[in-house]
Structure 1
Amino acid sequence: MDASPEGNTNKDPIPEELSMKQLLCIWPAERRRLFLQERIKLLPATIKNRIVALKNLQYEYLKIEAQFYKDLYMLEKKYFEKYQPLVDLRAQIVNGNVEPPNEDPKWKVFPGVESENDNDQSTNSVSDEEEPKEEAKTDTKKLETSKGLKNFWLEAFRNTSTLSQLVQDHDVPALEKLQDIRVQYFDDYSFLLEFHFAKNDFFSNPILTKKCFLRAVVHPKDPFAFEGPELVRSEGCIIKWRSSLGLVRKIMRKKKDHSTTEVISRESFFTFFNWSHIDFDENDAMSDFVVGNFIRSKLIPKAVLYYTGDLVEDEESDEEEESDSGSG
């Protein structure tokens, strides 16, 4: 079989012993796409007409799917109002404003698995050789007398691959002051993330915000590229830094002239709050959408599970899911 259809400009030699199935597996995605499209052109008119009919059905399916995402968003908005009292109480406990009474887990604890409040039993089983050191005992006493959960949100960030890669070492002292993250839903298919901070040495804003505007539209020019909601634009906020550089810039000496310096941008989680994207390209949109949507749909609803490690992001699984969704 000739595996180089008319119109294929790639002149790489194709080993004869490879089957077409093997070739489609090893070819880059763009080459596979071009090959398959050229093959469709060679089909009889009756077959091509059936394919057109099927793609018309697919087009109608995608329009219904776009409406599904819009309806789903409004349903999420409705139910988040019901979640809000629970989210409010969580913030009170995390920040030490409310001390919850001793409680038994409402979920089923399996035999041999210790629950969070089984400390007494576990301490009694420690042998003399395994007695904790004095420093550890001191830390335990400090924790026993402390209020709330220190660095709750920072630890939750660190336990997710989506956010941990954005947090730089110089961000940590500021993120230790993060007290709560909230979301507001709006009817125009947008949501606002609010990051509430305690007083700190880095900026004077008590709240940093990021607003994301979405759309779920099947574009007539490229309808089959539709994969769900996409970010149209985002609005950050102006961070009132206490120093001129803040956490997002640094001073560097020029390579050619070491006597002079220049101010350059540096990586920081706080670039997420950039006021606007002047050139809002596809990479900007994807980054903002992935981070903002993760915080909205995963982190805020299930923060304690990321904090405790009950939920752990598996990067390989995420990549497989993205690959699967992109191949449909």
Structure 2
Amino acid sequence: MRSEPDDSDPFSFDGPEIMGCTGCQIDWEKGKNVTLKTIKKQQKHKGRGTVSSMTKRVSIDYFNFSAPPEAPESGDLDDASEAILAAEFETGHYVCEHIIPRSVLYFTGEAIEDDEGEEAYEEGAEDENNPS
């Protein structure tokens, strides 16, 4: 990520820019992998009347945040890959700036109460500015 303006053209700086992204492999403890969901299904055979159980593991997209698309050797990404990286950057930036610093407040429930109070205050301020 480049977060400083280019010395040759400082006025073209629009904020942080993604230069590349590398994911990492997470070694989950057995039975704790939140990126996979295990579905157990029982089927009854119509002819024989026997019951067989089937287990299927399905990938959950939400938790695959740490697996960005692979960049080609040329370094140029297609529009879809760039959009994915930009969305993941925004999500990661939001988590780092808003969720992590206030994580204890979210855990105790205080952050939710604070957010509601701010919304009520903003609505009251709008009502004062727009008398009907």
TM-score by length of 1: 0.21
Counting helix residues as a fraction of each chain, which structure ranks higher? Answer: 1
* Larger radius of gyration between Structure 1 and Structure 2: 1
TM-score by length of 2: 0.44
